[in-house]
Amino acid sequence: MSRLRARHLVMAMIATAFLVVATNPMRGTSAVFSTRTTNGGTIANGVVNTPTSLQVSINTSGGTGITLLWTATPTRWATGERVYRRLGLGGAFLKVAEFANLTTTTFSEDPGTSDVYYVVRGYYTNANGGHWESRDSNLVKPPVHAAALDLVNKGLLAGKPELGDQIVLTFSERMDPSSFGTCSTGGNSGMDLTLNATSPNTVVANGGNLTIGTIDLGATGYFTIGGTALNSTCSWNTAETVLTITLGAVLNGGLVLAAHTATYRPDIPTPATLTVRSFLQQDLDTTAQPTVIKVLF
């Protein structure tokens, strides 16, 4: 066998081996694989790129329904995309949706909890049954849309509401102050709070429930009937995540038990059509409301 013929035979064997690799890839989840190009049959790397800009939002007030939105996998080597969900930080990712196209870039479900995480992956399958997935997209978690409540003693006596004492609502994200009615603007003054005027466990404003919701003081830790705080003020921090209500002159203030649990109920606004919203115009999720056990009046 001549040297030239032997060389041609070796090259043919190598080309055949490459062709087998290209047309019969091994199963796996690698984002990079060998494939044959369309110009000359040479071997190149095919890449399943990662979907980008994954976002999540909560659909309705008081619920846990979510909607995902993302930018499709920017690659020719993609059959479609898959959505994966993980419950809690230590859980395993489970596939919850698969779309055999690159035009579907949204997904909605109700996971039943706010302690949930999502990623999206691109995937590619070929005629021989081989399949690959991209790396994870950015990890997202639904926003909590909740508020923590502190009653802060600025007066002289602990356990007694006085001039200067504060109700501080701390939200998990930037809010839309215009949706808060009575406390819509920083420095809003002249707000009269009636403390336990009609119920032993709520704070009301201007003869009705606070337009921001109801501050619940519970059945055992409450103000005396007829207690009022005249000319109270509202103030937002610069980031619009903390709303501070400072009590004005307090009449017949009564007591608040130090061990009492106070809660904030944004799901009971007045009027009924008023909805407290975040800066992104999403309703508060009252099911994710933190438990608060701090009362410093």
What pLDDT tens digit does each residue of the chain (297 aa) get?
A: 555 455 554 444 444 443 333 333 333 344 555 555 555 555 556 678 888 899 887 665 445 678 899 998 777 778 889 999 998 777 889 999 999 888 888 998 888 776 789 999 988 887 777 778 888 999 988 765 556 666 677 767 666 777 888 888 877 667 888 877 777 776 666 677 776 656 656 677 766 667 777 777 655 445 555 667 788 888 888 888 888 888 887 776 666 655 455 667 666 655 555 666 777 666 655 555 444 433 444
Q: What are phi and psi of 143, to 5 degrees?
A: -65, 145
At residue 254, the pLDDT reads: 63
At residue 10, the pLDDT reads: 46
Could you give the CA distance from residue 291 to residue 76 in angstroms, rounded to a whole number? 49
pTM over 0.75, yes/no: no
CB atoms within 10 A of CB 169: 22
Tokens of 286: 């009252």
Q: Which domains does the chain have, with CATH numbers?
A: 11-133 (2.60.40.10), 147-288 (no CATH)
At residue 115, the pLDDT reads: 73
At residue 84, the pLDDT reads: 96
Neighbour-count burial of 40, counting CB atoms closer than 10 A to its CB (0-12 exposed, 13-18 middle, 19+ buried): exposed
CA-based nearest residue to 141, from 184, 99, 89: 89
Mention every residue, 6+ apart, whose C-beta is less than 8 A from residue 89. 117
Q: How would you classify the pairing of strands 242-246 and 263-265?
A: unpaired
Residues 228 and 192: beta-carbon distance below 8 Å? yes
> Residue 195: beta bridge partners?
203, 227
Upstream peptide bond of 271 is cis (omega within 30 degrees of 0):
yes
At residue 274, the pLDDT reads: 60
At residue 291, the pLDDT reads: 41
